[in-house]
Structure 1
Amino acid sequence: MNVLALYDIHGNIDALEAVLAAAPDFDLVLVGGDAVPGPFAAATLDRLAQLPTRWVRGNGERETANAPAAPAPEDLAAVTARRSADELGDRAQPLGELPLTTEIDGVLYCHATPRSDEEMLTRISPDERYAEALAGAGPLVVAGHTHQQHDRTVGGTRFINAGSVGLPYEGDGAARWLWVADGVPELRGTAYDAAAAGRRMRAIWPDVISVDAALVEPVAPDEITAIFEQRARPAT
């Protein structure tokens, strides 16, 4: 089976269309979480509904489904979740009921790790943290969440981060995705006018910092990795 794995679209419909135009013929689209929240959430779900899909839940879907009615203005995650929940209406709640993992052709797909939709494994996380998070997961795990592609093997498990379609923290704005042919993965990317997409997004979206850092004025990827790794470290 040819699987097109798309992670962290975050309502960037322009990036989604660019990837779909560039991808080879596929049998299935694996939506790996965090298709929402995002500025064009309804358009993103409408486009995905036209395709043969299987989903796993990201923290974004969970947060959108459970968005507070009146989020604190300084809580951007809650504010953006509320925005997308309002746009999606009755389509928001079922997003929180999506499965945490799914398996296709021997590949285990999740959003962050097999045990959590928000746990962070970065490019520089120590082997010990990988080993703990991936215990019993099998030979190949595909995830996203950090918006950065990488390929790491710890013990008997290979962990591939598919990167982000809509908000890639790779320094160039290009959409990132994963092609999996009969269980064999290949990391890919698609260049498009990311800066223009970012400007269109930030005109209606409160989280302009993330949009700028990924698309409009991309931040060096090592800087993002260091920030995420600091957040991921257990408190001492």
Structure 2
Amino acid sequence: MNVLALYDIHGNVDALEAVLAAAPTPDLVLVGGDALPGPFARATLDRLAELPTRWIRGNGERETAEALDGPEPAADDLAAVTAKRNAGELGAALVRPLGELPLTTEIDGVLYCHATPRDDAEILTRISPEERYAEALSGVTASIVVAGHTHQQHDRTVGGVRFLNAGSVGLPYEGDGAARWLWVADGVPELRATPYDAAATGERMKAIWPDVMSIDAALVAPVPALEITKLFEQRARPAT
């Protein structure tokens, strides 16, 4: 089976369209979590609904679903603010099922998760120590694990398990704005990138979306990838 794995779209429908135009025609589109929150979430969900998809849950879907019944967030908590905004815009009928998606799925021997197989928000980066990888992957029987969450592609093998981060379609922290994705042909993964006018898209997103810092860092004035990697590594926490 040919699988197009799309992670961390975050409502960037322009990037999604660029990837779909560049990618071969898949048998299945694996939506790896964090399709939302984002500025053009409804358009993103509508576009994905036209495709043969299988979804897993990211922390974005979980947090947006939790925001349906949650209190108004503090103004400086942008993750909560954006989740609450999409929850209100999209409504419970669309959002609640997204929060109930499975944490993992397996296709052709490849195990797909959002962050790690045990947690949708655990951080593993390009520079995380092997010990943390080994702990996060403990009990995994698949030889290949695909994740996202950090918005950076990487490919590590620890203890016989190959761990690939598919990168982010919509907010890639790679220093160049290009959308990242993964093509998996009969269980064999290949990391790919698609350039598009990310700066123009970023400006369009900033006009309606409060998380300006993330959009600038990913799309408009991309921050060097290693700076982001080090920042995420400082924030890494064990699963709860």
TM-score for both structures, normalised by structure 2:
0.96
CA distance in structure 2 between the aligned counterparts of 1:25 and 1:38, rounded to whole angstroms: 25
Q: Does 1:29 align with 2:29?
A: yes
Q: Which residue of the partner structure matches residue 174 of structure 1?
A: 178
SS at match of 1:195: helix
Q: Distance in 1 between matches of 2:195 and 2:86?
A: 26
- Select 1:155's aligned residue among 134, 156, 159: 159
Runs of at least 5 residues in structure 1 that lack an aligned partner in the other structure: none
Pairing 1:130-149 to 2, within 5 Å after superposition = 130-137=133-140, 138-149=142-153
Deviation at 1:62, TM superposition (A): 0.1
Q: Is 2:102 the partner of 1:104?
A: no
Per-residue deviation, 1:233: 5.2
Q: Does 1:121 align with 2:124?
A: yes
Task: Give the C-alpha shift of residue 70 in structure 1.
Answer: 1.1
Distance 1:86 1:188 in 2: 34
Q: 3-state DSSP class of the match of 1:141? A: strand
Equivalent AA in structure 2 for residue 62 of structure 1: R
**Aligned counterparts, 1:1-236, within 5 A:** 1-67=1-67, 68-89=70-91, 90-137=93-140, 138-232=142-236
Q: Give deviations 1:185-232, integer Å, cap 9, x for gaps.
A: 000000000000100001000000000000000000000000000001
Q: Is the 8 A contact 2:122 2:237 kept in 1?
A: no
Identity across matched positions, percent: 81
Q: Which moved more, 1:180-189 or 1:84-93?
A: 84-93
The Cα of 1:69 is off from its aligned counterpart by: 3.7
The SS at the match of 2:139 is: coil
- Partner of 2:43, secondary structure, is helix
Q: Where does the alignment leave 5 or more consecutive residues of structure 2 unmatched?
A: none
Q: Distance in 2 between matches of 1:125 and 1:107?
A: 22
Cα distance between partner residues in 2 of 1:8 and 1:97? 17
State the one-letter code of the partner of 1:157.
V
Specify the SS of the correspondent of 2:64: helix
Cα distance in 2 for partners of 1:108, 1:62 equals: 20
Give the structure-1-normalised TM-score. 0.98
Q: Residues 233 and 56 (structure 1 numbering): CA distance in 2 closer, same or farther, change over 3 Å?
A: closer
> What value does the CA root-mean-square deviation take over the aligned residues?
0.8
* 2-structure distance, mates of 1:58, 1:183: 22
The alignment partner of 1:112 has SS state of coil
- Whole-angstrom distance in 1 between the partners of 2:116 and 2:152: 14
Question: Which amino acid in the other structure matches residue 60 of structure 1?
Answer: G
- Residue identity opposite 1:227 in structure 2: L
* CA deviation after TM superposition for structure 1 residue 71, in Å: 1.1
Give the total of aligned pairs.
234
The structure 1 segments of at least 4 consecutive aligned residues displaced by more than 3 Å after TM superposition are none
What amino acid is the match of 1:139?
S
Match for 1:88: what amino acid? L
